[in-house]
Structure 1
């Protein structure tokens, strides 16, 4: 197998992983949308700092176990959490 074929196989794998990530994020946001609707209908705050802190700690440990940079993992999770909170705030207001 030549270099170009090898690189193409790697890129195909990356493309498959990226597709899986997009579908997983879509599924996650479907669930967090339901959480936001529940919170809004029960007058609960959009953010839960204690839950967020536990999630960050749990995912940092998972990152370490997976030999992934925990700082990167936390930044990625923080981006997702901030987006979810923004959606929850919008649901509460509207």
Structure 2
């Protein structure tokens, strides 16, 4: 049986730390989007804001490019998050 090189263990630990940070950041982001959903429901605003989404996608693509991350991947990731946020906003609206 091959032993795992210490460098691999160290890299895996770094990945685990980044994964934890991503989860914590997503939780924080969703706290804010829940507040947005409540405000939208109170003011009769639509759950989706296509112009805001377009601007955010462009912004994220630029950040991804600056960070040497595939902008297509960044866009897919944001689209997934936005779809979930819209779903939450619709649920908040329907409960109001």
TM-score clears 0.5: yes
Per-residue displacement from partner, 1:2-56 (whole Å, max 9, x unpaired)?
9610100000000000000000000000000000000001110000000000000
What's the RMSD between the two structures over aligned residues? 1.1
Unaligned runs of 5+ in 2: none
Partner residue in 1 for 2:76? 75
Partner of 1:90, secondary structure, is: helix
CA distance in structure 1 between the aligned counterparts of 2:23 and 2:86, rounded to whole angstroms: 19
Partner residue in 2 for 1:9? 10
Partner residue in 2 for 1:27? 28
Moved over 4 A (4+): none
Unaligned runs of 5+ in 1: none
CA distance in structure 2 between the aligned counterparts of 1:47 and 1:3, rounded to whole angstroms: 48
Partner residue in 2 for 1:51? 52
Partner residue in 1 for 2:40? 39
TM-score by length of 2: 0.94
Partner of 2:5, secondary structure, is: helix
